Amino acid sequence: LLLEACIQENVMSFIYTSTVEVMGPNPRGESIINGNEDTIYDSTLKFSYSKTKKEAEERTLQANGEVLQNGGRLATCALRPTYIYGDGCRFLLGHMRDGIQNRDVLYRMSEREALVNPVYVGNVAYGHLQAARSLKDPQKRNIIGGKFYFISDDTPPVSYSDFNHIVMSPLGFSIQEKLPLPLRFFYMLGFFLETLCMMLRPFIRIVPPVSRQLLTLFNTKFTFSYQKAKKDLGYEPRYSWDEARKRTTEWLASQLPLERKNLRSK
């Protein structure tokens, strides 16, 4: 509908916010280290989220070059941010809430060596601005149109769980040293919960708190470079890692008293 509206209203540029999850990881948990737009990977997708994001990305890129009502042509591109963090991140807030309930000890759901490269929300926003500026440039427009770009920054590669600890440790949180259960038992638990939820689906719809795909996401090395976005879009991180971490921790600190109060009142 949005692409059709662009064509009808003579909107010349369209940027789709995709996700690194359209790439994977696949159910086998095959790793990618410092991948790029040319990396070949068996992207077998199981999550509805990643499937629908992939479909929307493909439709966006296929629409590049469509003729507008005024005779002009639509230029499209897609940006694939890695795991986005920062001020207002509801996922970080949820992990902090779980940690409060666990006596200020954060749960570990990913092994230390399962490195990913998170990206600060401000840098993702800046990536979109650079893409928009580039699509308005007649020379760059033909280079960028119909392509996707990974957006990451200089946040050090780290596991999902250890990243939570990095931004929350200044607030007094510690983290479990190792997974509460061996990973293979977690997969068995995920299979059991998925089966149970499927059996209950005719009566009640429940999303399992642990699934095999989520465990694979948390425990697969999956990092990507932003060098092509730098080359084509002129993108470079606007916020350093130190500033991004400081802003994120300060925001979490502002939320902590209210979260503690809300949990005490339950």
Q: What is the pLDDT of residue 206?
A: 84
Residue-wise pLDDT for 89-139, tens only, equals: 999 999 999 999 999 999 999 999 999 999 999 999 999 999 999 999 998
C-beta of residue 64 within 8 angstroms of C-beta of residue 76: yes
Q: What is the pLDDT of residue 56?
A: 96
- Name the residue ranges covered by the structural domains of the chain: 2-264
From residue 133, give the alpha-carbon distance in Å to each of 16, 127, 226, 232.
14, 10, 17, 11
**Run of H or E residues at 141:** helix 138-144
Paired residues of 85 in beta bridges: 120
Q: Which residue positions in the chain have pLDDT lower than 70?
A: none
The sign of the torsion formed by the CA atoms of 81, 94, 163, 168 equals: positive
Q: What is the pLDDT of residue 229?
A: 98
| Alpha carbon distance 160, 180 (integer Å) | 15
Which active-site residues does the annotation give? 49
Q: What is the pLDDT of residue 209?
A: 81
Q: What is the pLDDT of residue 70?
A: 94
pTM metric for this prediction: 0.93
**Answer CATH for 2-264 from 1.10.287.3510, 3.30.470.20, 3.30.530.50, 3.40.50.720:** 3.40.50.720
Amino acid, single-letter form, for residue 212: R
Q: What is the pLDDT of residue 234?
A: 96
Q: What is the pLDDT of residue 202?
A: 87
Q: What is the pLDDT of residue 263?
A: 87
